[in-house]
Chains A and B, each alone.
Chain A
Amino acid sequence: SSELTQDPAVSVALGQTVTMTCQGDSLTSFYASWYQQRPGQAPLLVIYGNTNRPSGIPDRFSGSSSGDTASLTITGAQAEDEAAYYCNSRDSSVNYLVFGGGTKLTVL
């Protein structure tokens, strides 16, 4: 399969921890990256290579991977973390690169 599957929506109470997942066959062979997209803005890379955080990204964002599933965790979610989150990876079938469908995170 060339798809990456994400839950459409997740909610978290302010200050609590939330984990979003991304599942797909390609993740057994290739690294996952994660992007944050606030309404009306361009996407922003928050995790690459499964676990690496770019400069400037708060350390409350962390990534992990096991088997065919990659995860993005926000520890102590803030109001400004409310956004859509997308995963992506290389793909070995139809498409060279692929995105997940995205998870809309609501901070309550």
Chain B
Amino acid sequence: EVHLAESGGGLVQPGGSLRLSCTASGFTFGHYEMNWVRQAPGEGLEWVAYIDSDAFSTHYGDSVKGRVTISRDNAKSSLFLEINSLRAEDTAVYYCARGGEHWAFDVWGLGTRVTVSS
């Protein structure tokens, strides 16, 4: 069964940093582009970051550009998101999502919750 599992969320103080992880199973991870998508409480979905299958190309959402780094370890079927200089507005559930045909996100994890508060 195709599965994505996020981890690494929690409570962090403003200005702090966090590294989120996503472990994939049930498919050949290294063959797929991957993304991070977040959802603030009561709000809609916001695309955060993209990485291609070989980690040669990355793209970031305008609201996080310069504070976020997406990376991957294909040997360990793992995706990562490092977020620095955390702000209250970064409070959200962070989902990893597999890139499918025509730029669709065809597999999603259950998400990990990040709360930025003092």
Residue numbers of A with Cβ under 8 A of B are 30-31, 33, 35, 37, 42-45, 48-50, 52, 54, 84, 86, 88-90, 94-102
Contacts and interface: CB of A to CB of B under 8 A. Distances in A.
B109 interface: yes
Given A42-B110, A99-B46, A102-B45, 8 more contacts: A42-B95, A43-B45, A44-B108, A86-B45, A88-B104, A96-B60, A96-B61, A102-B44
Contacts of B108: 42-45
B46 A97 contact: no
A33 B50 CA distance: 16
B103 A45 contact: no
Majority SS of interface residues in chain A?
strand
Interface residues of B, number: 24
Interface of B: 35, 37, 44-47, 50, 59-62, 95, 97, 100-106, 108-111
A33 B103 contact: yes
A98 to B, nearest CB: 6
Nearest to A47: B104
A98 B101 contact: no
A30 B103 contact: yes
